[in-house]
Chains A and B, each alone.
Chain A
């Protein structure tokens, strides 16, 4: 497992706007997972994209993967105040440890 680097470190938007977060990684992946962490709480799995997939949707979430650029993006559409959290990407190819970055801290203002 390798650490993903999330960008930007912080993002502040208005409710209803879309939020885009990016993730870069260094070596090839098996699958990339996105997680959310509300302040002081455990991480919650959002979505997984396999290395042979380019795009995946889940509700208001859209994840893309570009293996040639070693990057992924997470788009949250029509954001809500409840989306305020930190978001992390991780390379999760096997059952071994996950290595976490600093995440993107998203603030959605009502």
Chain B
């Protein structure tokens, strides 16, 4: 069964550094999402992407964050200047169009900012 793949599984970076998290959504999916989960807390929405543009974003997704779908298969999340509080699991998800299509999640990238 096709799945969403995320790399790397774990990323350690120093405060102030830029990181790029990579995702390959399921190939025929049209909607793409990034969520994050700080340890012990709820899964939080960051951004959704459709038709090559951001369709919705949360307050968390400030100017330090950006997303790209550079080549029709990858979907990346960039954090320009990481902060300690960016440490979390970052999940990529994708779905088909339609209100009854479920989200398919990757296994996440654990980002540790030191």
Task: From the candidates A40, A41, A48, A101, name the one contacting B102 in the complex (CB within 8 A).
Answer: A48
Which residues of chain A have C-beta atoms less than 8 A from B48's C-beta?
Answer: 95-97
Name the prevailing secondary structure of the A interface residues: loop
Nearest B residue to A44 via CB reads: B105
- Measured between alpha carbons, how far is A43 from B35 in the docked complex, in Å? 11
Contact with B along A27-54 (1 / 0, CB 8 A): 0001101010100111111001010000
B interface residues, tally (CB under 8 Å): 29
Q: Enumerate A59-110 residues with CB–CB distance to B below 8 Å.
A: 88, 92-102
Measured CA separation A97–B35 after assembly (Å): 9
B108 interface residue per 8 A CB criterion? yes
- A33 and B102 CA atoms in complex are apart in Å by 8
Q: Is the CB of B97 within 8 A of A102?
A: no
Interface size class of A (residues with CB under 8 A): 20 to 34
Q: Which residue of B lies closest to A103 (CB)?
A: B42
B50 touches A95 (CB 8 A): yes
- With beta carbons under 8 angstroms apart, the residue of B44, B91, B98 that contacts A42 is B91
In the bound complex, residues from chain B placing their C-beta under 8 Å from that of A96 are 48, 55-56
Does B45 belong to the interface (CB within 8 Å)?
yes
Give bound CA distance, A99 to B89, whole Å. 16
B22 an interface residue at 8 Å Cβ cutoff? no
- Please tell me if the beta carbons of B103 and A43 are within 8 angstroms of each other in the complex: yes
Q: 22 A-B Cβ contacts within 8 A?
A: A30-B99, A31-B99, A31-B100, A37-B43, A42-B105, A43-B93, A43-B105, A44-B105, A45-B104, A88-B43, A92-B99, A94-B99, A95-B31, A95-B97, A96-B56, A97-B48, A97-B56, A97-B58, A100-B35, A100-B42, A100-B43, A100-B44
